[in-house]
């Protein structure tokens, strides 16, 4: 995963353009992608697909022709979606187009202006402070023209058509944690799920933030009803603890699964309530859709000073952190995929487990084993209203033990879905 992040890091991504395409090309080497190109001007829900933005070069050069700010050094140096400019101006005039972080004078901020025509440069405060007054050459060699918005899907087919969507944004330039780590975890999660046929169909979305999710939602109206659960992956690689942000519904199955898996894992973690700010859960959880989609991050949105700055670089993400995020995703989806609500088919009194080989024939001992308790709990709570996850939580037993008990009872014809 870290190698994938390294390859993607230098590319200049935005909500449209060749940087996104190059990104998807590379991700496609890991998992096959179905790439969609949606023309500029397409109406998508309340929005319109904007013109496509591409950039070849950009710089600020001093009177000696020396590039004091250079896009070639980092894609962050240009305000995203900058209109083209070619001019010479005094520093005093240039200043209102320059974005810095006075509190972190060595870092370059990440800024955009997608929907208002604007141009600008982002640079370190200390770089700015070192610039002498005088004339500067300013050049942004970009194009804003009718084109397309690009996003991709990868589907892991399951045994049922009901879907789980996993979404990550692919629009940020050279920011490693936000969201190259999320992209990498998503790609490897897809590969892991494909190793055996899952119950649900898992759909992975690699799309630009906001407008990409909105475009997908607009073009998949008939599919929305099949989306049972979802997870937005972002900030998946920093060294902080995991944070799960619940869906707007707060009690969706994905919420309960993540709460259970994180708690059972013993990892330090946080579970937070939904807020209408963050990543594309904003769109999936908008009140018209209100899908059961949560968001898993390590340190969440804006929770670390490096957020949306050049300090979110390759050193900021750790291979072990990405591996940990992936492991929790796999554990969570294993529970989600196996969770089912059974019905006890012999609900009047306990069925005689002993003659079915499911009960210890020697009576009187006080050490009821976990497996035996799991059988009794599944029988007790399988009234059509409790899922296996409910049983595990109520019984204080591992989900795996409860699922194994359900398997044994189903084999014996004692419970059914």
For the bound state, the minimum distance from the C-beta of residue 174 to a copy of itself, rounded and expressed in Å, comes to: 13
Round the CA-based radius of gyration of the chain to a whole number and report it. Answer: 26
Residue 217 touching a copy of itself (CB under 8 A): yes
Give the residue with the Cβ less far from a copy of itself, 266 or 287: 287
- Which part of the chain contacts a copy of itself (CB under 8 A), choosing from 136-144, 233-241, 260-268, 288-296? 288-296
Which of 129, 290, 407, 411 forms a contact with a copy of itself (CB under 8 A)?
Answer: 290
Residue count of the chain: 417
- 30 or 47: whose CB is closer to a copy of itself? 47
Distance (Å, whole) CA 414 – CA 409 = 5
The residue among 393, 409, 395, 401 whose CA lies nearest residue 342 is 409
In whole angstroms, how close is the CB of 118 to a copy of itself at the nearest point? Answer: 7
Question: For residues 113 and 143, which CB has a smaller minimum distance to a copy of itself in the complex?
Answer: 113
Positions in 194-213 near a copy of itself (CB under 8 A): 210, 213
Q: Does 313 bind a copy of itself (CB under 8 A)?
A: no
Closer residue to a copy of itself in complex, CB, 132/361: 361
Binding mask 380-399 for a copy of itself (x = CB under 8 A): xxxx-----------x----
Q: What is the number of alpha carbons within 13 Å of residue 136 lying toward its C-beta? A: 26
Q: How far is the CB of 372 from a copy of itself (least distance, A)?
A: 8
DSSP string, 117-162: ----EE--HHHHHHPPSSEEEEEEEEEEES-EEEEEEEEE--SSS-
Are 372 and 359 a contacting pair, CB within 8 Å? Answer: yes
Q: Using H for helix, E for strand and C for coil, what is the string for 177-206? A: HHHHHHHHHHHHHHHHHCCCCCCCEEEEEE
Report d(CA 324, CA 354) in Å as an integer: 42
Q: Is 45 in the site for a copy of itself (CB under 8 A)?
A: yes
- Looking only at residues 84 through 123 of this chain, which bind a copy of itself when binding is defined by CB under 8 A? 109-116, 118
Q: Check binding of 240 to a copy of itself (CB under 8 A).
A: no
Between residues 347 and 400, which has the closer beta carbon with respect to a copy of itself?
Answer: 347
Q: Which of 200, 316, 377, 399 binds a copy of itself (CB under 8 A)?
A: 377
Least Å distance between CB 140 and a copy of itself? 17
CB of 350 to a copy of itself, least distance (A): 6
Rounded to 10°, the helix 181-193/18-27 angle is: 40
Main-chain phi, psi angles of 51, to 5 degrees: -65, 155
**In whole angstroms, what is the distance from residue 146 CA to residue 53 CA?**
9
Site string for a copy of itself, 129-148 (x = CB under 8 A): --------------------
Q: Contact between 77 and a copy of itself (CB under 8 A)?
A: no
Per-residue CA distances from 98 to 48, 52, 63, 95, 243 (Å): 28, 23, 18, 5, 34
Number of C-beta neighbours around residue 149 at 10 A = 26
Contact between 223 and a copy of itself by CB under 8 A: the answer reads: no
CB environment 378-388: b (16+ within 10 A), e (fewer): bbebbeeebbb
For a copy of itself, the binding residue among 54, 218, 254, 291 (CB under 8 A) is 218
| Contact between 368 and a copy of itself per CB under 8 A | yes
Residues at the interface with a copy of itself (CB under 8 A) = 45-47, 80, 109-116, 118, 210, 213-214, 217-218, 248, 275-277, 282-283, 285-290, 301-302, 307-308, 344, 346-352, 354-355, 361-366, 368, 373, 376-377, 379-383, 395
């Amino acid at each position: 995963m870290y190698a994938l992040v390294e390859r993607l890091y230098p590319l200049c991504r935005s909500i449209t353009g060749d940087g996104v395409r190059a990104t998807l090309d590379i991700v496609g080497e890991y998992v096959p992608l179905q790439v969609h190109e949606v023309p500029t001007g397409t109406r998508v829900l309340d929005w319109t697909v904007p013109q496509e933005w591409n950039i070849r070069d950009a710089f600020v050069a001093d009177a000696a022709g020396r590039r004091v700010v250079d896009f070639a050094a980092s894609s962050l140096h240009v305000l995203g979606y900058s209109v083209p400019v070619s001019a010479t101006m005094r520093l005093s005039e240039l200043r209102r187009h320059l974005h810095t972080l006075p509190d972190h004078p060595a870092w370059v901020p990440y800024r955009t202006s997608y929907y208002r025509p604007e141009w600008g440069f982002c640079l370190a405060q200390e770089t700015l402070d070192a610039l002498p007054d005088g004339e500067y050459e300013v050049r942004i060699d970009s194009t804003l023209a009718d084109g397309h918005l690009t996003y991709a899907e990868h589907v892991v087919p399951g045994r049922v058509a009901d879907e789980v969507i996993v979404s990550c944004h692919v629009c940020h330039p050279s920011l490693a944690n936000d969201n190259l780590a999320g992209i990498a975890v998503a790609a490897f999660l897809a590969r892991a799920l494909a190793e055996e046929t899952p119950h649900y169909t898992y759909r992975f979305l690699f799309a630009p933030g906001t407008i990409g999710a909105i475009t997908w939602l607009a073009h998949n109206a008939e599919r929305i009803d099949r989306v049972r659960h979802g997870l937005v992956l972002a900030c998946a690689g920093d060294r902080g603890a995991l944070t799960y942000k619940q869906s707007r519904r707060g009690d969706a199955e994905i919420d309960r699964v993540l709460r259970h898996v994180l708690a059972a894992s013993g990892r330090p973690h946080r579970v937070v309530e939904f807020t209408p700010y963050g990543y594309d859960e904003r769109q999936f959880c908008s009140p018209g859709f209100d899908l059961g989609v949560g968001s898993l991050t390590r340190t969440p949105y804006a929770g670390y000073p490096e957020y949306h700055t050049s300090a979110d670089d390759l050193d900021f993400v750790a291979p072990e952190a990405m591996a940990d995020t992936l492991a929790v995703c796999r554990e969570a989806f294993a529970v989600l995929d196996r969770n089912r609500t059974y019905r006890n088919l012999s609900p009047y009194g306990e069925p005689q487990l002993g003659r079915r080989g499911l009960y210890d024939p020697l009576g009187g001992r006080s050490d009821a084993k976990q497996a035996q308790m799991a059988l009794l709990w599944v029988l007790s709570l399988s009234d059509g209203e409790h899922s296996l996850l409910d049983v595990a939580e109520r019984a204080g037993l591992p989900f795996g033990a409860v699922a194994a008990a359900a398997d044994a009872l189903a084999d014996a014809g004692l419970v059914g879905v």
